[in-house]
A and B are shown apart, each in its own frame.
Chain A
Amino acid sequence: MSTWTELVSAALVGTERRAFVADPAVGVDTGVDPAQALLQQAALAAIPALTGSQPAPYEGPLPEPAPADDRPLLPAASRLRLRAVVDVCPKYLGEWLAAVRAAGYRVPSDAMPSLLNSGRSDVSVRGDLAEVLGARGHWLARQNPDWRYLLREPFGPLRPEDWDASEPDARIAYATGLYATDPDAARTLIQAAWPTLTAAVKVSLLAVVARHATDADLPFLTGLAQDPSKQVREEAGRIATRLAHSGEDVAELLPEEFAAEIARLGAAEGFGADLTRLVTRRRLGTWPLDAARTLLALFVEFSRGKAAGQTSDRAIQYERSRNVWTVQQLVGVLADRAPLDLRPDVERVVQAQACDIAAGVTHDLDFTDLHSLLGFRADMHAELTASADAATGQE
């Protein structure tokens, strides 16, 4: 009988150009047209290829299994939240991961790929991500070059032996961990080892320094002007320049001064550039409640402003609409960074606004989004602590 290859070649050429003789052994009726005979014979010859992919023998080792994680699994409500945070509100991923880390849960392992993908683009979440994913996440990150960044993040207690490891990633993870807890010791350690390091490791370590850089790092950084590697010289120069200019920035105010400064700037010039800068530069976690309240009060006052100053002047109207846009951005900042205790205040504002609108008073800003975003964040924390209470209650 003709082989499959012979049949394919006969079909490519065509039975008109090259005679095809049906194989009588196959049981195809020899009386039929040669093209039809070829098709019938091909149907039989194709069967081995159509019975699926033949299994191939495997002699390699089994994959290294993931280490066990004995932390309790994230409760059901928070597993749902995980999807919402990763897919819909990635801006709250950092805050959520920090809360999960503090609560001491492990995440379901099938969620790890999407979390590791989030950490690729969002450097700020990596520290908490490494702790939340734990040993199992590090095992998974080793399998995919795209997730290698996680291996440079410390997790669990610091292991000094990592600094002597042959793997540069482990050394960088240790340096990162030490920098967070004891920057002086980290600096001494890096400086001592510097002459023995490769340029690639040096650049990675400089990235660690850059994350925590203070003026104390300046002598070390300026000393690197003589480094044999061009990349190291440039990177060190960049960090040093940034440090030198950081003094010109608005220094972060003490918590008690922050609210007063908001009130002062708000009274003096409304929502001008200074107030905008003050608010947008303020980091999460350092927002005192009274500052958030002061800002909220300014927003409410601004929102009603239109009713007070009705005007037909186009220039003023234009100015006003541009301001509304700016203030809307600031409301967004407040939603993301305000302490959650602000929520009852916002609820009162939303209710008062509804009464105003019913009474015919117009408003430029809508605070329901602020309310629901604060609610999202509040629920996100509440379900982590609530289920912890329930779990301890059951035991």
Chain B
Amino acid sequence: MAPETSSGSPQRWSVAQIHALAPDPASQKAGTKLAAPGPWSDTGASPSASLLWGDCKGSGSKPYQVTVELSAPAFACSCPSRKFPCKHALGLLLLWSAGTVAEADALPQRVEEWLSGRRERAQKSEARKAAQAEKAAEAADDPAAARRAAAAAEKRGAQRAGRIDAGFDELELWLADQVRGGLTGLRGAGYRPLDGLARRLVDAQAPGVAGRVKELAPALSAEDWPDHTLRGFAQLNLLAQGWRNRAQLPGPLAATVARRVGLAPSTEEIAAAGEQVADRWLVLGQRDDVPDKLVERRVWLRGEATGRTALLLAFAPRGQSPGLALPVGSSLEARLAFVPDAVPLRAIVLEQGELQQGSASPSGALPTGGSLEEAANAFACAVAADPWTAAVPVLLEAAVPVRQQFGERQEWRVLDAKGSLTVPLIRPGAGETAMALGGARKDPDIPRSAYALLAAAGGQPAPVFGICSVSGFAPVTVWTVDGPVSLA
């Protein structure tokens, strides 16, 4: 067991951890191909400075020179790729992970130069920061300046709130108009009116509302579109009401309304106002989504002592690694700050210790899960606290995929073997918007997802972490005899 434990120091990264750094699956594959000594020469690792370097033969006559600093981590490569880290850096890391990069005492000159360049830049940036801090401190000492700054910030906030107010004014009028004239007309008009409205809401600086409006368009072609549409309209209308009454709402719910509208609190605000929880956190699952030109990485954690579930989010432009290289099954000591919310889930890391690959005992790495009934209750509670909830993370103790017959139709379902209950099995990432109801079940990727789960756990009921949404359960991680397996 514990196939990827490390030996010696510094701690070697696991393959999963390195793969988590890859900006996309294509780089992962390309890096894997380069993880053989074949194309490499002049490789080395320095234990003290935690540096890796090597030359990788490419298509040109001059090999690509790769340098990796493990502690940052920082990457440099002379290749022209805009992916970051590039396949050469990933290949070198994998090579090192497999134990085929020898330790060297002396750094090559180019690595020395790169390192001193980085140090210089870091010093400059430190100096800049210090200068800014000094300025801020000066401003704080000067009560007049502080008042001016606070007033300016308040003015900016009020300006934005005013724009959002105007956006909601238009939205409410539009919604009422649709209901007055009948929804049938909307279907005939297609996605254009919705698109236009969404764009105006973006201009009104309410991106959360705009996103909800945009999601209504594809539902128009669904069979039960009247249900989707009225549900969507009702939720938007409720959000408008919530926004207007936000001063009267309890604090956490007001924060939820603001977040749903699209006013994300800054990292400083979360650190200052968010609930802080220190614990040993087990990485339950990870999933990458690629909407538009962005990579969105989600990492779910479970606190060993507190039992709390936390969601970390990271974004990067496509082709770059969003960071958060936290492989499933590893754990870390960390202090998190939860984003203020009616159902606190999103969090940021304030302080973190070193990542532990897996746990000393396999059973220790396995968090205790619940039943589908408990999951349904958790969902209901979440909706009661935040009526715009679309999905909740759930760990099932003993789940197995089954094919269940419903009249003529056969459907892949997730069976909770203890409670003898099933919910539809859906693809990772599907059905997490309220509008996706029903459509997610026809996804052609469902069998692939079901076979992956079946293969990994061998048809045995096993602990499965996944996302419970209105359409069903999307598996993310399953714990097998060989350790946790990522399905998303």
Contact = CB atoms under 8 A, between A and B. Distances in A.
Nearest to B33: A88
Contact of A58 (B30, B241, B420): B420
In this complex, which of B175, B234, B375, B454 has the most chain A Cβ atoms within 10 angstroms of its Cβ?
B234
Given A11-B182, A80-B32, A43 B238 contact: yes
Interface in B373-414: 373, 375-376, 379-380, 383, 387, 389-390, 392, 400-402, 404-405, 413
A50 B434 contact: yes
B98 A80 contact: yes
Nearest to B402: A63
In this complex, which of B180, B373, B419 has the most chain A Cβ atoms within 10 angstroms of its Cβ?
B180
A39 B175 contact: yes
A296 to B, nearest CB: 17
Contact of B182 (A13, A50, A83, A84): A13
A50 B387 CA distance: 8
Nearest to B98: A77
B38 A375 contact: yes
Interface in B436-488: 437, 447-448, 451-452, 454-461, 468-473, 480, 482, 485
A87 B32 contact: yes
A52 B380 contact: yes
B451 A144 contact: yes
A51 B470 CA distance: 7
Contacts of A7: 230
Interface in A366-386: 368, 371-376, 378-380, 383
Given A14-B181, A88-B32, A50 B231 contact: yes
Given A55-B373, A87-B32, A80 B15 contact: yes
A11 B179 contact: yes
Interface residues of A, number: 71
B359 interface: no
A53 B471 contact: yes
**Size band of the B side of the interface?**
35 or more
Contact of B230 (A42, A83, A87, A371): A42
B190 interface: no
Contacts of A84: 29, 32-33, 35-36
A108 interface: yes
B83 interface: no
Contact of B36 (A46, A109, A113, A379): A379
A49 B424 CA distance: 15
Contacts of B460: 65-66
Given A7-B230, A39-B179, A89-B33, A63 B459 contact: yes
A79 to B, nearest CB: 8
A12 B416 CA distance: 39
B482 A35 contact: no
B293 to A, nearest CB: 24
In this complex, which of A11, A52, A84, A374 has the most chain B Cβ atoms within 10 angstroms of its Cβ?
A52
A60 interface: yes
A60 B380 contact: no
B152 interface: no
A12 B220 CA distance: 13
A380 B160 CA distance: 60
Contact of A42 (B181, B231, B415, B421): B231
B345 interface: no
Interface string A118-159: 000000000000000000100110011000000000000000
Contacts of A378: 38
Given A76-B4, A113-B451, A51 B57 contact: no
B469 A12 contact: no
Given A12-B226, A40-B237, A76 B231 contact: no
In this complex, which of B380, B415, B456, B458 has the most chain A Cβ atoms within 10 angstroms of its Cβ?
B458
A43 B380 contact: no
Interface in A1-40: 4, 7-8, 11-17, 33-36, 38-40
A35 B179 contact: yes
Contacts, number: 225
A56 interface: yes
Given A12-B182, A63-B454, A66-B459, A53 B424 contact: yes
Contacts of B235: 43, 46
B182 A16 contact: yes
B388 to A, nearest CB: 9
A63 B226 contact: no
A192 interface: no
B422 interface: yes
Contacts of B9: none
A4 to B, nearest CB: 8
In this complex, which of A17, A36, A79 has the most chain B Cβ atoms within 10 angstroms of its Cβ?
A36
Contacts of A368: 57
Given A59-B420, A371-B38, A51 B383 contact: yes
A275 to B, nearest CB: 28
Contact of B455 (A33, A40, A54, A110): A110
B193 interface: no
Contact of B404 (A43, A46, A60, A136): A60
A120 B61 CA distance: 39
Given A52-B376, A65-B460, A108 B32 contact: no
Interface string B178-207: 011111110000000000000000000000
A88 B29 contact: yes
Contact of A62 (B179, B380, B400, B404): B400
A65 B462 CA distance: 11
Contacts of A89: 33
Contacts of A40: 234, 237-238, 241
B466 to A, nearest CB: 12
Interface in B301-348: none
A165 B197 CA distance: 66
B387 A372 contact: no
A63 B400 contact: yes
B439 to A, nearest CB: 13
B29 A136 contact: no
A32 B471 CA distance: 34
Interface in A338-395: 357, 368, 371-376, 378-380, 383
A307 interface: no
A4 B387 CA distance: 17
Given A76-B98, A144-B451, A49 B437 contact: yes
A38 B434 contact: no
B137 to A, nearest CB: 49
A53 B404 contact: no
Interface in A89-107: 89
Given A50-B231, A53-B470, A109-B482, A62 B180 contact: no
Nearest to A34: B180
A143 B184 contact: no
Given A39-B233, A46-B235, A49-B231, A12 B36 contact: no
A204 to B, nearest CB: 24
A3 to B, nearest CB: 12
Contacts of A43: 234-235, 237-238, 387
B458 A14 contact: no
Given A8-B227, A87-B32, A136 B458 contact: yes
Given A62-B461, A88-B33, 5 more contacts: A35-B175, A46-B230, A47-B383, A60-B405, A80-B98
19 contacts: A13-B182, A34-B180, A35-B179, A36-B172, A36-B237, A39-B176, A39-B233, A49-B231, A50-B387, A52-B376, A53-B468, A53-B469, A54-B376, A63-B400, A77-B98, A83-B29, A113-B451, A379-B37, A380-B36
The 9 closest A-B pairs by CB, nearest first: A375-B38, A14-B182, A66-B458, A55-B421, A42-B234, A52-B379, A43-B234, A35-B179, A35-B176
